[in-house]
């Protein structure tokens, strides 16, 4: 088991319960929507959402509400923090539905937060934030959009406090006649918080290719990305992706830690090639479509997660 998993199993199992449910080295030009002006309103004890548990995607919505409630209950009981964001960075589950997922990360009142996403039709995307000790759940309903890729920024409200603290951050994409179905074609490309993480998205231009590799012929995938900011720590991860009727399932396969982090305005994988051999942490071949995930963070709490818009199909 690699360093990304060691020492965090109990926390990841809790997140997992909530979330189970081509060589192109370019990304689309940024389309930056106007800064979202409203702080959003705190909602009720369960996050204020109508989250029935029927299908897998909807069950993820329900489990996210339970995770947020657990976070609030732990804060009210003055239990110690369960996250180690300062050393381990933003924490996602090793298996998640990209149309309804949660993570642990740092937030602070007044910080900017950015999300880069796309979906193919009408629907509602929400970001929920539950900071330990705040006693409230912040909900941002993002602007209603009719498809396409969008980058939205907003400021976190001052009542989240002047301290950098542990939080549950959930992203949900809903559609259907009653708004309780997760959107199968929703895509997340970037999510980050803190001054260093937000310009548009501080890690972008992810490239991952070629479209297919054969492990038996010792072919490798290559990746690269651009950092707009200075981050102390950097982790590159590879997820096997499968599509379902209620969202895209991402399953952790492998990780590469890049010592020393990354400096501002710097390409990773451009001058010196970065490669992945299509195998998992135990050196087993991971067959199927895979996507690149990059996490970056610093000791002050700023963090960003970014996902490629290209996939690599691993064949035997």
Q: What is the model's pLDDT at position 228?
A: 94
Measured distance CA(29)–CA(88) in Å, rounded? 31
So what's the pLDDT on residue 245?
A: 87
pLDDT along the chain (316 residues), means of 10: 44 37 32 35 30 42 70 56 68 89 93 89 86 84 76 92 92 82 89 86 96 98 96 96 90 95 96 96 96 95 96 98
Which pLDDT belongs to residue 188? 94
Model pTM score = 0.80
Distance CA 43, CA 122 (A): 24
Residue 9: predicted pLDDT: 41
pLDDT at 18: 36
DSSP string, 159-219: GG-SS-EEEEEEEEEEESTTS-EEPTT-EEEEEEESTTTTTTTSEEEEEEE-SEEEGGGT-
Burial class of residue 146 (count of CB atoms within 10 Å of its CB; 0-12, 13-18, 19+): exposed
Confidence at residue 7, expressed as pLDDT on a 0 to 100 scale: 44
- Environment class of 160 (CB within 10 Å of its CB; exposed 0-12, middle 13-18, buried 19+): buried
CB 45, CB 69: distance < 8 Å: yes
Q: How far is it, in rounded angstroms, from Cα 127 to Cα 105?
A: 13
Structure tokens at 228: 């707009």
CB 101 within 8 A of CB 92: yes
What angle do the packed helices 56-76 and 9-19 form, to 10 degrees?
Answer: 140
Q: What is the DSSP string of the chain?
A: --TTTTT-HHHHHHHHHHH----B---PPP-BPPPP----EEE-TT-S-----SSHHHHHHHHHHHHHHHHHHHHHTTPPP---HHHH-SEE-SEEETTEEEEEEEE-TT-EEEEEEEESSS-EEEEEEEETTT-SEEEEEPPP--SEEEEEEEEPPGGG-SS-EEEEEEEEEEESTTS-EEPTT-EEEEEEESTTTTTTTSEEEEEEE-SEEEGGGT--EEEEEEESS-BSEEEEEEEEEEEETTEEEEEEEEEEE-TT-B-TTEEESSSS-EEE-SB-TTS-B--EEEEEEEEEE-TTS-EEEEEEEEEEEEE-
The most distant pair of C-alpha atoms in the chain lies apart, rounded to whole Å, by: 56
Return the number of other C-beta atoms located less than 10 Å from residue 298's C-beta.
Answer: 19
Domain ranges of the chain: 9-315
CA 185 – CA 194 distance, rounded (Å): 28
């Amino acid at each position: 088991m690699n360093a990304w998993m060691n020492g965090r199993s109990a926390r990841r199992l809790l997140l997992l319960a909530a979330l189970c449910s081509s060589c192109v080295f370019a990304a689309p030009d940024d389309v930056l929507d106007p800064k979202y002006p409203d702080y959003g309103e705190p909602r009720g004890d369960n996050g204020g959402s109508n989250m029935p548990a029927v299908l897998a995607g909807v069950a993820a919505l329900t489990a996210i509400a339970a995770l947020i409630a657990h976070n609030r209950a732990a804060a009210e009981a003055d239990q110690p923090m369960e996250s180690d964001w300062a050393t381990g960075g933003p924490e996602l589950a090793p298996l998640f539905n990209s149309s309804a997922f949660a993570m642990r990360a740092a937030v602070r009142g007044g910080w900017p937060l950015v999300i880069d996403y796309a979906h193919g039709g009408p629907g509602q995307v929400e970001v929920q934030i539950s900071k330990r000790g705040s006693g409230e759940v912040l909900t941002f309903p993002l602007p209603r959009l009719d498809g396409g890729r969008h980058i939205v920024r907003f400021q976190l409200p001052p009542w989240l406090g002047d301290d950098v603290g542990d939080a549950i951050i959930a992203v949900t994409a809903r559609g259907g006649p009653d708004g309780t179905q997760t959107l199968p074609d929703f895509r997340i490309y970037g999510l980050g918080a803190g001054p260093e993480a937000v310009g548009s998205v501080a890690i972008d231009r992810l490239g991952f290719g070629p479209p297919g590799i054969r492990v038996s012929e010792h072919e490798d995938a290559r990746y690269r990305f651009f950092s707009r900011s200075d981050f102390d720590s950097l982790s590159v991860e590879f997820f096997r992706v499968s599509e379902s009727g209620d969202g895209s399932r991402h399953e952790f396969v492998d990780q590469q830690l890049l010592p020393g982090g990354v400096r501002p305005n710097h390409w990773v994988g451009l001058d010196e090639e970065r490669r992945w051999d299509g195998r998992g942490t135990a050196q087993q071949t991971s067959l199927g479509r895979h996507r690149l995930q990059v996490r970056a963070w610093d000791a002050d709490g700023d963090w960003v997660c970014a996902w490629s818009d290209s996939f690599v199909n691993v064949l035997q």
